[in-house]
Amino acid sequence: MENATEEGTALTADVLVIGFGKGGKTVAHAMTDAGRRVIMVEQSDQMYGGTCPNVGCVPTKMLVHYSNEKRLEDSAQEFFANSIAGVRALTSAFRAGNYASLDGKDTATVITGAASFVDPHTVAIGEGADRITVSATTILINTGSEAILPDIPGLANSRHLVSSTDLIQHDRLPERLVIIGGGYLGLEFASIYRHFGTEVTVIEAADRLLPREDEDIAEVATEILAGDGIRIITNAGVVDVRDEGDASFITYEHDGETKTVQADAILAATGRRPVTGALRLDAAGVRTTARGAVEVDEHLRTSQPHIYALGDVNGGPQFTYVSLDDARIVLDQLLGDGIRTTTDRVAVPHTLFITPPLATAGLTEREARSQGRHITVSRERVADIVAMPRAYTVEETRGVMKFIVDADTDLILGAAILSIDAQEIINTVTLAMRHGITATQLRDSIYTHPSSTEALNEVFDKVVAR
């Protein structure tokens, strides 16, 4: 319902969604299909559909694909500009499709603007005569996360500081890119831009890359990245950033020495935080955690039972597919039996889209042994897997596969797959982990040929002596 006054327009809805991300839009579609009145508020007309199709998963993985298609004879700048044009075309189509598919429904409305709470059931968008207030029975917060800029002298004011969004929208290929931080985001961009032809340096504070992974997996990943020409400096701290002329000079400390590296683009990839600052959550009585995330229970309810938080903003794993699962949990509360919780999640996979990609799930060997588990470890380098000719047919034999298996039950406890098609193989493995399929059953299964999945026929027999 709508009521227009001199103070603006007042709307009411059954469900209000703040933020057009994966979780929020999934709930919005389901609730409109169930006959509910839904209002979606998104602060930017460039973000319909959320981070993934606009500035996250889709454009970056498209650039992974393009960067690996570049030939030696291609002009780096021209090839990169054409690649960015391709990305823009696809993301624009996705953005328009996301808007039309929701706003085109009879019981749904999309409002563009920044929302802030007035009270636990009402938000305001805009000011004066243009002000819109929306009151709803149920409210979903789905505002995502934003990059954290480290407190490094000179960094914030550098003319050469770029965000990950800048990198996928600008059509000029930087000649020298320095990435501060060797996490997932930093390493993906390092791999992408190195394959396009950029000189890339990664400065990481930890003593090695991928500290959460086992050392043998991290070692192979580092070998691959360094082999592609990426300069990796670990156990290093950035001291300051100084612009001089057309370049920036990044000073860092390493092995007791002060050194400098030059760049014409600097990406700070040191983590992300939930976007809550402008929401006025205090007006709604919604609590946040010490790290700034919206506090939720296992059903994703906030301190106000009618308000839910989905996706990155609730402090959970920052993955689109987790946000989608958040939507399933909320929909089970709104339309179902109300039994789904975040504790139901088992063997959630992660993929680092370097080339080749690294996909992981479950326990590492280090974690399994620290828990006192009786395990066997199956491990083999991709180049040695006879049962995986696909790696040779696509000329990508770098990498390694490693599986942690419970020696008593034969159940798979963890996986680390660094290989061509790892992002697909991991889905088969995690499905087995969730449903109690044993390592032996995976080993003896029938897979298509030639495929990457058939590597499982062999690797589970390659037990590593420890």
Last residue of a domain, one of 344, 359, 390: 344
Regarding whether 405 and 331 lie in a shared domain, the answer is no
Rounded distance between C-alpha atoms, residue 400 and residue 334, angstroms: 44
What pLDDT sits at residue 37? 98
Regarding whether 450 and 398 lie in a shared domain, the answer is yes
What pLDDT sits at residue 77? 95
| pLDDT (tens digit per residue) in 72-110 | 999 999 999 999 999 999 999 999 999 999 999 999 999
Within 13 Å, how many C-alpha atoms sit on residue 205's CB side? 10
What pLDDT sits at residue 140? 98
Instruction: For the chain, list residues with pLDDT below 50.
Output: none
Range of the domain at 430: 350-459
Query: What's the structural domain count of the chain?
Result: 3
Q: Which of 146, 103, 122, 126 is nearest to 307 (CA)?
A: 122
Rounded distance between C-alpha atoms, residue 326 and residue 361, angstroms: 19
Regarding whether 450 and 424 lie in a shared domain, the answer is yes
* Bond preceding residue 389 cis, omega within 30 of 0: no
Label residues 200-218 b or e (16+ Cβ within 10 Å = b).
Answer: bbbbbeeebbbeebbeebb
Tell me, yes or no, whether 215 lies in a domain.
yes
Tell me, yes or no, whether 465 lies in a domain.
no
Tell me, yes or no, whether 253 lies in a domain.
yes
What pLDDT sits at residue 1? 55
What pLDDT sits at residue 465? 62
Regarding whether 135 and 16 lie in a shared domain, the answer is yes
Regarding whether 65 and 52 lie in a shared domain, the answer is yes
Regarding whether 266 and 167 lie in a shared domain, the answer is yes
Last residue of a domain, one of 291, 317, 344: 344
Residue 262 near residue 175 (C-beta atoms within 8 A): no
What pLDDT sits at residue 463? 84
Regarding whether 258 and 393 lie in a shared domain, the answer is no
Cβ contacts of 379-386, under 8 Å, gap ≥ 24: 379/216, 379/403, 379/459, 379/462, 379/464, 380/458, 380/459, 380/462, 381/220, 382/356, 382/418, 382/419, 382/420, 382/455, 385/455, 385/458, 385/459, 386/458
What pLDDT sits at residue 129? 80
What pLDDT sits at residue 2? 59
Give ∠ CA 259-263-274 in degrees, rounded to 5.
95
Distance of CA 330 to the CA centre of its chain: 21
Tell me, yes or no, whether 464 lies in a domain.
no
Question: Could you tell me the CATH number of the domain that includes residue 299?
Answer: 3.50.50.60
Tell me, yes or no, whether 155 lies in a domain.
no
Residue labelled with tokens 């082999």:
227
Q: At how many degrees (to 10) do helices 76-103 and 184-196 cross?
A: 130
What pLDDT sits at residue 8? 78
Regarding whether 332 and 237 lie in a shared domain, the answer is no
What pLDDT sits at residue 115? 97
From the candidates 65, 254, 374, 449, which is the catalytic residue?
449
Question: Could you tell me the CATH number of the domain that includes residue 434?
Answer: 3.30.390.30
What pLDDT sits at residue 127? 86
374 classed as catalytic: no
